[in-house]
Homo-oligomer: A and B are copies of this chain.
Amino acid sequence: MDKNTRHKNAMEKQKAAVDDSIAKADVERGVAVLLTGDGKGKTSSAFGMVIRALGYHQTVGIVQFIKGVQASGEEIFVKEQLSGVALYQMGTGFTWDTQDREADIAAAIRTWEHATTMLSDPNYDLVVLDELTYMLAFDYLPEADVITALTQRPENQSVVVTGRGGGQALREAMDTVSEVKEIKHAYRAGIRARLGVDY
């Protein structure tokens, strides 16, 4: 058998396997996605899903925990060009910048209220909770309340949570979990964080 025929046979088998899996996945509902791990690409992936949802003219809400002191490219883009997208930011910066636990907790609770409003509103097709995991890791928000709000959201609503860690209970509550592992990072080779790529 020549290379092209072997290729055709292998691809026929692969197509049958793919088609079979697609036929088996027949439950239609919103999905809960967790993007975790220490590698680059979690927040950008969530914003890529925002674009994906907007391509279908869906309604999108974004709540950003931590972020908000320094404007990022995606934030500027949403504010300037996506007026239909609801965006709320905690706006206090990283916890190692504020160094004030009580103020951080108050800000986290205030921000979480915006998240629960979206998570109980069936008008939102997609809700992004960027860096939410850190609020759990630092014990700023009660884990049980967060899990309940995520799992009891409207059936057709999808939710994307990003951030390192987050704990086992969160992983179990989500339908899809991707762990973004850092294999290498430009940073470690002395290359400065790049406008338009890193922030």
A141 lies within 8 A of chain B by Cβ = no
User: Would A80 and B55 be within 8 Å (CB), given that A25-B187, A25-B191, A181-B178 are in contact?
Assistant: yes
Chain A contact residue count (CB 8 A cutoff): 90
User: Would A99 and B45 be within 8 Å (CB), given that A125-B196, A184-B176 are in contact?
Assistant: no
Residues of B within 8 A of A100 (CB): 4, 8
Residue in contact with A73 in the complex, picked from B54, B81, B197, CB distance below 8 Å: B54
Residue in contact with A53 in the complex, picked from B33, B73, B182, CB distance below 8 Å: B73
Report the bound CA distance from A174 to B36 in whole Å.
Answer: 22
Residue in contact with A48 in the complex, picked from B37, B39, B45, B181, CB distance below 8 Å: B45
A1 lies within 8 A of chain B by Cβ = no
Query: Least Cβ distance of A11 to chain B in Å?
Result: 4
Instruction: Output the nearest chain B residue to A181 by Cβ-Cβ distance.
Output: B179
CB within 8 Å of B: which of A83-100?
Answer: 94-100
A154 lies within 8 A of chain B by Cβ = no
User: Would A44 and B39 be within 8 Å (CB), given that A58-B196, A177-B184, A197-B126 are in contact?
Assistant: no
User: Would A48 and B74 be within 8 Å (CB), given that A4-B102, A175-B184, A184-B175 are in contact?
Assistant: yes
Report the bound CA distance from A185 to B18 in whole Å.
Answer: 15
Residues of B within 8 A of A44 (CB): 44-49, 51-52
A113 lies within 8 A of chain B by Cβ = no
Query: Least Cβ distance of A130 to chain B in Å?
Result: 11
B39 lies within 8 A of A179 (CB): yes
Q: A14-B96, A42-B45 are in contact. List 17 more A-B contacts (CB 8 A).
A: A12-B96, A12-B99, A31-B191, A40-B176, A44-B45, A47-B48, A47-B52, A49-B197, A51-B77, A55-B76, A55-B196, A56-B195, A158-B194, A171-B184, A175-B189, A176-B186, A180-B180
4 nearest CB pairs, A to B: A44-B48, A55-B73, A52-B73, A53-B196
